[in-house]
């Protein structure tokens, strides 16, 4: 351990410093690169590997890119030390997406670990495998997840649930339904821990697939209290959404309390509630706001607000069919019951989520039980305090009375953050009632003295709001505020004091808000303000007061008499004002002039003219513009001598009307309600940031989900079966693999129409001319056959001599099996056909396609595909053609790296060599055409457009991996030599079972069992891929029944890169039973090799009737 400190003097000091932090990883973090990491990774000691990995993690933590160590790190995934494994996983997950090809090297180890008896190892492997996020391994990961979803260990199942969103994140359409199915299985799990994670997966994958919830709704409610806290948060939301979608909102709830549901006498009940509470009616709740809130919850504020007439639709009631009642709806009742104890949860997010359910669904009388738990949350961490306050504010805006008795909880502590203080102030001004206002105001007085001046300014604003809400208190407030203005205007002398000006401005504004309600009775206050003009030095505050001069210039008796003096004062001070104030002086001058009395008109006119002249030569262009504008507007006024005269003289003068409108208009009471009330679901991120965050969904439309009982039964029965299966088979790795591969097969490759398409194709072939097809294959594999024949003959000679069985009932094609040639096999090779277009979509035009093993004439990258057109309609189909559709740039990184390797020299060859156009296809007629295609990616389908009858239909041509290789004729020696050059990471294997031979051996009793096994495997392989059979090995010491040790070797080259690819199939098991095959591939191109491996394993497992026909 100490050796890394080195022995030089300078590192000794480092060592002494490290003594204090001995045993920690401190030195690794401080100097991660003081030793050479690479050799450590290759060390044979676990401790050295561990240290190297720690150094790498230190570099990651510090933000360095160490992805260049990837290949070396990946190798260590096989380590048995749990710490090394953990560290490798941490590293892998960090870089897997950057290095997809190397990441694939680790897949085999994950697969191995997935079968480990230790659940922790299984869970880690699953987490990492799913976390690597590569499209190419998605099918494997999905298979692993579906296997782990049935794992006996709860922890593994939980990790499986967590892995689902990772797979879903890859956006593979073909896996969507499989993923959702697993979500369903996990939601039905009996362990609460799994259900919680499944709820999270549900929320992120398919939040609106209510069928999955419907099946288990009651069970989910019952299990909810036992679910882990994090799962609870999301499960509560899910259950709420389900109930709303299924049953609609609750009639008695707050959300619907104001909609005209006349039938049930709701208003009487409401009345009772009203009487119980002592405050005045205004405090109970803000009717419009509550219905606005409920509308927003259901529709989302953005949609809702964007409607022009939302103000009117507020009153529109919900259809009473879309509502339900707690009394007679069991589901709603259960939901409320199971969420209410969660208000006592230790986790504040759970409390808030539960409170959200009660808020939306609970009957009005019960909503108040959320108050105390919510207030208790205010005593948690600063960060959560802020979020809780934001939510409480919404609740309080709608129903202030809920929180009114608890105003003391919103008193401000000195340790509160500024935002928390501001929210508390808003809260206090919202919930103040006549009984509490005196204590609240006393608090406010304290706050004004707070050293944080912007907070003090907010307090002053809050006082204004309070006074506005409660008309009984303004006199007290106003006196306080006026005193403040006087006091501040002295203190305000000091420009150096931060935010001091803000308090003064706020004070003036607050006074203005209060006066606005009833200016006449506050005349004296206005006059006092005007008098204080001289002492108020802050520009914004002055501007506000001057603005008030303009607005209230004709109010009462005293003000008009003061006007001349005030205007004179303003004109006098104009030069020294800030431009903000200058603008207000100009406005006020105009207003004063318009409403001027006869006797003062001349005087005022002079003053105004003076001000305008000053303004015209101001330095600020805004002021100059405003001046010119006013001068033009007021020209008619300035020209005349008497104020009354103008109305007669300039009758119909447009300018006058405009001026009246602009300056003479009385203030309208301004309601801020609609402007910034955006409501999102309680507890959501959107409610905090006040815009819909990506992924935000409002509640579903009430009663949008119709529940089918039938479905429920059949599905649950099926799931029970699945569970029984699990109990029976107990997680042996073989069954797991089988399970996985069947999943893989049905989902990833061919979609649902796969099997039936194949059958149809065979029928069609029989009906037509099967010989053509077969002979083509035979021709194309000519050379391969010759070679295979040699190998086979070699072996067959031996075989026939050792076992003297003469086959009697042989396949009709052969007279004697001893003379079997691959040519015969070739003639029996029956390539699979796929459907391009089924007649249902193509108005009777049916198109199938088959991959040919023929070598393309265009370029080595092209694959020959035979397309069979069939007209099954009653009318002829004209001008049939297939064209390549320019691919939309799919920025799939994996795809690009793979395409990038394609030989650039062939890039000028078109992707699709077009076929000869079919001019006319008579009813019942079928025709074959040959097209040559270059696939961009070996897994992704190619988009083609089909033209017929003048129409264009997009179709997808899916590549068959087996035909993206070409036979590579080599001898067994060459094969073995190549194989030995491709060990370790270039070698991967998979196991599968093979059953085709069973039928064969039963049918043909006399035939040699090994032969028929060998034959059926070869047939199966050659029917599905374009390979060369190199050799067949037979073990020396074997009984007649035991086929173990039989080995078939195939070779091929990848079309696009010419890289050799070797396949070895080893047989294990008894002849008459299902065989276990191990398929091994050696190839440098790991991605392709892995995929082909899976493909081979899949088609070997598949039982097909065509094999022996």
Q: Which of residues 495-534 bind other proteins (CB under 8 A)?
A: 496-498
DSSP string, 292-333: HHHHHHHH-HHHHHHSTTHHHHTTPPPPGGGEE-TTT-HHHH
Binding residue (CB under 8 A) for other proteins from 363, 480, 683, 1060: 683
Element (H, E) at 269: helix 266-276
Which is closer to other proteins, CB of 414 or CB of 908? Answer: 414
Q: Is 608 in the site for other proteins (CB under 8 A)?
A: no
Binding residue (CB under 8 A) for other proteins from 450, 523, 731, 1033: 450
Cβ contacts of 950 within 8 Å, gap of 6 or more:
878, 879
Which is closer to other proteins, CB of 452 or CB of 974? Answer: 452
Q: Is 82 in the site for other proteins (CB under 8 A)?
A: yes
Q: Is 119 in the site for other proteins (CB under 8 A)?
A: yes
Which is closer to other proteins, CB of 411 or CB of 569? Answer: 411
Binding residue (CB under 8 A) for other proteins from 159, 284, 485, 659: 159
Shortest distance (Å) from residue 250 CB to other proteins: 23
Alpha helices in 451-522 (DSSP H): 453-469, 474-491, 500-517
How far the first Cα of the chain sits from its last, in Å, is 69
Cβ contacts of 868 within 8 Å, gap of 6 or more:
761, 764, 833, 847, 848, 849, 850, 926, 927, 928
Which range touches other proteins (CB under 8 A), out of 16-24, 279-287, 322-330, 561-569?
Answer: 16-24
Torsion of CA 594, 596, 598, 604, to 10 degrees: -100
Q: Is 24 in the site for other proteins (CB under 8 A)?
A: yes
Shortest distance (Å) from residue 489 CB to other proteins: 12
Of 874-933, binders to other proteins (CB under 8 A) are none
Shortest distance (Å) from residue 1086 CB to other proteins: 20
Which is closer to other proteins, CB of 128 or CB of 1056? Answer: 128
Q: Is 11 in the site for other proteins (CB under 8 A)?
A: no
Nearest residue to 342 (alpha-carbon basis) of 364, 368, 374? 374
| Lookup: tokens for 322 | 């879309």
Which is closer to other proteins, CB of 21 or CB of 1002? Answer: 21
**Strand ranges in 224-319 using DSSP code E only, listed in sequence order:** 249-250
Binding residue (CB under 8 A) for other proteins from 52, 66, 221, 353: 353
Binding residue (CB under 8 A) for other proteins from 171, 369, 691, 718: 691
Shortest distance (Å) from residue 504 CB to other proteins: 12
Distances, alpha carbon 249 to alpha carbons 185, 357, 402, 443, 681, in Å: 29, 11, 21, 40, 14
Shortest distance (Å) from residue 50 CB to other proteins: 7
Q: Is 950 in the site for other proteins (CB under 8 A)?
A: no
Binding residue (CB under 8 A) for other proteins from 105, 141, 149, 163: 163
Binding residue (CB under 8 A) for other proteins from 35, 273, 375, 764: 375
Which is closer to other proteins, CB of 337 or CB of 752? Answer: 337
Q: Is 696 in the site for other proteins (CB under 8 A)?
A: yes
Cβ contacts of 233 within 8 Å, gap of 6 or more:
347, 349, 350, 353
Which is closer to other proteins, CB of 500 or CB of 747? Answer: 500
Which range touches other proteins (CB under 8 A), out of 68-76, 691-699, 822-830, 1035-1043?
Answer: 691-699
What distance in Å separates the CA atoms of residue 213 and residue 780, rounded to the nearest whole number? 55
Which range touches other proteins (CB under 8 A), out of 123-131, 276-284, 720-728, 825-833?
Answer: 123-131
DSSP string, 1051-1075: EEEETTT--EEEEEEEEESBTTSPE
Dihedral over Cα of 436, 441, 444, 445: its sign: negative
Site size with other proteins, rule: CB under 8 A: 122
Of 333-352, binders to other proteins (CB under 8 A) are 341, 344-349, 351-352
What distance in Å separates the CA atoms of residue 757 and residue 765, rounded to the nearest whole number? 12
Q: Is 491 in the site for other proteins (CB under 8 A)?
A: yes
Which is closer to other proteins, CB of 274 or CB of 372? Answer: 372
Cβ contacts of 31 within 8 Å, gap of 6 or more:
14
Which is closer to other proteins, CB of 458 or CB of 848? Answer: 458
Which is closer to other proteins, CB of 495 or CB of 660? Answer: 495
Contact pattern for other proteins over residues 293 through 332, marking x by CB under 8 A:
----------------------------------------
Q: Is 30 in the site for other proteins (CB under 8 A)?
A: yes
Binding residue (CB under 8 A) for other proteins from 31, 34, 83, 879: 83
Contact pattern for other proteins over residues 377 through 406, marking x by CB under 8 A:
--x-xxxx-xxx------------------
Q: Is 797 in the site for other proteins (CB under 8 A)?
A: no
Nearest residue to 237 (alpha-carbon basis) of 192, 204, 189? 204
Beta bridge partners of 1067: 1077
Binding residue (CB under 8 A) for other proteins from 339, 436, 684, 1016: 684
Binding residue (CB under 8 A) for other proteins from 12, 17, 21, 287: 21
Shortest distance (Å) from residue 39 CB to other proteins: 17
Q: Which residue bears the tokens 């495997």?
A: 1017
| Lookup: tokens for 178 | 């499989």
DSSP string, 897-939: HHHHTS-GGGTTS-SEEPPPPEEEE-TT-EEEEEEEE--SSSS
| Lookup: tokens for 237 | 């939301």
Cβ contacts of 179 within 8 Å, gap of 6 or more:
142, 164, 167, 168, 205
Binding residue (CB under 8 A) for other proteins from 639, 649, 689, 767: 689
Beta bridge partners of 855: 863
Nearest residue to 177 (alpha-carbon basis) of 205, 157, 156? 205
Q: Which residue bears the tokens 């085999």?
A: 108
Binding residue (CB under 8 A) for other proteins from 102, 189, 228, 715: 228
Which is closer to other proteins, CB of 395 or CB of 851? Answer: 395
Which is closer to other proteins, CB of 403 or CB of 963? Answer: 403
Q: Is 47 in the site for other proteins (CB under 8 A)?
A: yes
Q: Is 153 in the site for other proteins (CB under 8 A)?
A: yes
Nearest residue to 566 (alpha-carbon basis) of 584, 580, 540? 584
Q: Is 118 in the site for other proteins (CB under 8 A)?
A: yes
Nearest residue to 881 (alpha-carbon basis) of 840, 943, 931, 924? 931
DSSP string, 121-169: HHHHHHHHHHHT--GGGHHHHHHHHHHHTT-SSHHHHHHHHHHHHHHHT
Shortest distance (Å) from residue 595 CB to other proteins: 39
Of 173-202, binders to other proteins (CB under 8 A) are 191-193, 197, 200
CB atoms within 10 A of CB 516: 17
Give the max Cα distance, the chain: 139
Binding residue (CB under 8 A) for other proteins from 86, 606, 947, 999: 86
Shortest distance (Å) from residue 353 CB to other proteins: 7
Binding residue (CB under 8 A) for other proteins from 12, 17, 22, 483: 22
Distances, alpha carbon 535 to alpha carbons 169, 254, 453, 525, 531, in Å: 65, 51, 20, 16, 8
Q: Is 31 in the site for other proteins (CB under 8 A)?
A: no
Which range touches other proteins (CB under 8 A), out of 263-271, 374-382, 716-724, 1016-1024?
Answer: 374-382
Shortest distance (Å) from residue 49 CB to other proteins: 10
CB atoms within 10 A of CB 110: 24
What distance in Å separates the CA atoms of residue 742 and residue 722, rounded to the nearest whole number? 14
Q: Is 166 in the site for other proteins (CB under 8 A)?
A: yes
């Amino acid at each position: 351990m100490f050796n890394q400190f080195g022995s030089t003097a300078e590192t000794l000091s480092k060592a002494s410093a490290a003594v204090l932090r001995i045993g920690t990883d401190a030195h690794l973090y401080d100097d991660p690169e003081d030793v050479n990491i690479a050799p450590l990774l290759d060390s044979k000691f676990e401790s050295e590997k561990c240290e190297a990995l720690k150094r790498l993690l230190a570099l990651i933590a510090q933000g360095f890119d160490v992805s260049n160590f990837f290949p070396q790190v990946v190798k260590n995934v096989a380590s048995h030390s749990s710490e090394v494994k953990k560290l490798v996983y941490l590293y892998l997950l960090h870089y897997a997406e950057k290095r997809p090809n190397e990441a694939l090297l680790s897949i085999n180890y994950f697969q191995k670990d997935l079968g480990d008896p230790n659940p922790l190892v299984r869970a880690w492997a699953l987490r990492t495998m799913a976390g690597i996020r590569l499209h190419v391994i998605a099918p494997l990961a999905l298979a692993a997840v579906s296997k782990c979803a049935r794992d006996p260990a709860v922890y593994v199942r939980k990790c499986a649930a967590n892995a689902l969103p990772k797979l879903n994140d890859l956006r593979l359409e073909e896996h969507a339904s499989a993923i959702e199915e697993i979500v369903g299985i996990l939601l039905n799990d009996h362990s609460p821990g799994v259900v919680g994670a499944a709820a999270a997966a549900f929320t992120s994958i398919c939040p609106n697939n209510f069928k999955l919830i419907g099946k288990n709704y009651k069970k989910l409610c019952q299990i909810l209290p036992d679910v882990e806290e994090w799962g609870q948060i999301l499960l509560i939301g899910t259950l709420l959404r389900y109930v709303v979608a299924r049953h609609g909102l609750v009639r008695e709830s707050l959300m619907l309390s104001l909609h005209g549901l006349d039938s049930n006498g709701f208003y009487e009940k409401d009345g009772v509630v009203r009487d119980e509470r002592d405050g005045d009616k205004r405090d109970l709740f803000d009717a419009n706001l509550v219905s606005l809130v409920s509308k927003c919850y259901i529709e989302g504020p953005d949609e809702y607000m964007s409607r022009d007439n939302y103000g009117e639709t507020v009153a529109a009631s919900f259809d009473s069919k879309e509502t339900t009642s707690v009394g007679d709806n069991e589901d709603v009742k259960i939901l409320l019951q199971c969420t209410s104890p969660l208000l006592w949860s230790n986790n504040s997010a759970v409390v808030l989520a539960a409170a959200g359910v009660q808020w939306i669904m609970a009957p009005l009388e019960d909503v108040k039980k959320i108050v105390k738990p919510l207030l208790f949350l205010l005593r948690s961490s600063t960060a959560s305090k802020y979020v809780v306050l934001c939510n409480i504010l919404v609740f309080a805006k709608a129903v202030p009375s809920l929180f009114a008795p608890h105003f003391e909880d919103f008193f401000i502590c000195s340790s509160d953050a500024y935002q928390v203080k501001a929210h508390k102030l808003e809260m206090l001004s919202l919930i103040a009632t006549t009984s509490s206002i005196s204590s609240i105001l006393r608090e406010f007085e304290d706050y004004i003295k707070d050293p944080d001046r912007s907070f003090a300014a907010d307090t002053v604003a809050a006082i204004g709001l309070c006074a506005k809400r409660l008309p009984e208190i303004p006199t007290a407030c106003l006196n306080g505020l006026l005193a403040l203005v006087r006091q501040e205007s002295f203190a305000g002398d000091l420009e150096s004091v931060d935010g001091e000006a803000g308090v003064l401005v706020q004070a003036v504004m607050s006074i203005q808000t209060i006066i606005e309600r009833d200016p006449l009775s506050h005349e004296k206050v206005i006059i006092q303000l005007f008098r204080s003009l001289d002492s108020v030095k802050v520009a914004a505050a002055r501007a506000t007061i001057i603005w008030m001069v303009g607005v209230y210039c004709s109010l009462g008796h005293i003000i008009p008499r003061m006007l001349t003096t005030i205007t004179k004062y303003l004109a006098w001070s104009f030069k020294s004002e800030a431009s903000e104030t200058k603008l207000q002086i100009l406005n006020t001058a105009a207003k004063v002039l318009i409403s001027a009395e006869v006797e003062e008109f001349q005087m005022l006119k002079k003053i105004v003219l003076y001000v305008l002249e000053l303004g015209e030569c101001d330095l600020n262009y805004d002021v100059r513009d405003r001046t010119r504008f006013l001068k033009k507007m007021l020209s008619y006024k300035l020209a005349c001598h008497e104020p009354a005269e103008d109305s007669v003289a300039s009758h119909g003068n447009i300018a006058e009307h405009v001026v009246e409108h602009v300056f003479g208009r009385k203030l309208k009471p301004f309601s801020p309600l609609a402007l910034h009330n955006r409501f999102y679901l309680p507890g959501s991120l959107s409610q905090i940031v006040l815009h819909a965050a990506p992924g935000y969904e409002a509640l579903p439309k009430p009663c949008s989900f119709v529940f089918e009982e039938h479905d429920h039964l059949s599905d649950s029965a099926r799931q029970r079966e699945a569970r029984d299966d699990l109990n029976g088979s107990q997680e042996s790795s073989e069954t797991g693999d089988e399970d996985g591969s069947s999943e893989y097969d049905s989902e990833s490759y061919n979609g649902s129409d796969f099997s039936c398409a194949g059958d149809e194709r065979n029928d069609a072939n029989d009906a037509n001319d099967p010989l053509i097809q077969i002979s083509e294959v035979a021709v194309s594999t000519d050379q391969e056959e010759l070679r295979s024949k040699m190998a086979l003959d070699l072996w067959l000679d031996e075989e026939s001599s050792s076992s003297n069985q003469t086959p009697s009932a042989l396949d009709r094609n052969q007279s004697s099996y001893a003379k079997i040639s691959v040519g015969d096999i070739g003639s029996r090779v029956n390539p699979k056909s796929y459907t391009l277009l089924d007649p249902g979509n193509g108005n009777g035009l049916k198109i199938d396609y088959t991959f040919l093993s023929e070598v393309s004439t265009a370029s080595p990258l092209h694959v020959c595909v035979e397309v069979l057109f069939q007209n099954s309609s009653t009318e002829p189909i004209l001008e049939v053609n297939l064209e390549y559709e320019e691919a939309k740039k799919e920025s799939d990184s994996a795809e690009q790296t793979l395409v990038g390797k394609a030989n650039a020299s062939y890039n000028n060859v078109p992707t699709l060599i077009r076929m000869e156009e079919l001019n006319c296809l008579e009813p019942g007629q079928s025709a074959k055409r040959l097209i040559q295609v270059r696939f961009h990616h070996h897994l992704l389908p190619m988009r083609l457009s089909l033209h017929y009858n003048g129409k264009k239909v997009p179709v997808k041509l899916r590549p068959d991996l087996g035909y993206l290789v070409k036979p590579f004729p080599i001898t067994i020696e060459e094969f073995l030599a190549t194989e030995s050059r491709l060990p370790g990471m270039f070698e991967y294997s998979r196991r599968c079972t093979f059953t085709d031979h069973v039928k064969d051996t039963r049918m043909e009793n006399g035939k040699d069992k090994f032969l028929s096994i060998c034959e059926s495997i070869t047939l199966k392989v050659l029917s599905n891929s374009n390979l060369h059979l190199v050799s067949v090995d037979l073990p020396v010491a074997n009984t007649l029944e035991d086929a173990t040790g039989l080995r078939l070797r195939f070779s091929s080259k990848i079309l696009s890169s010419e890289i050799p690819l070797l396949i070895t199939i080893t047989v294990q098991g008894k002849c008459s039973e299902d065989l276990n095959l191990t398929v091994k591939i050696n190839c440098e191109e790991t991605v392709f090799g892995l995929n082909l491996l899976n493909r081979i394993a899949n088609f070997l497992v598949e039982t097909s009737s065509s094999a022996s026909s």
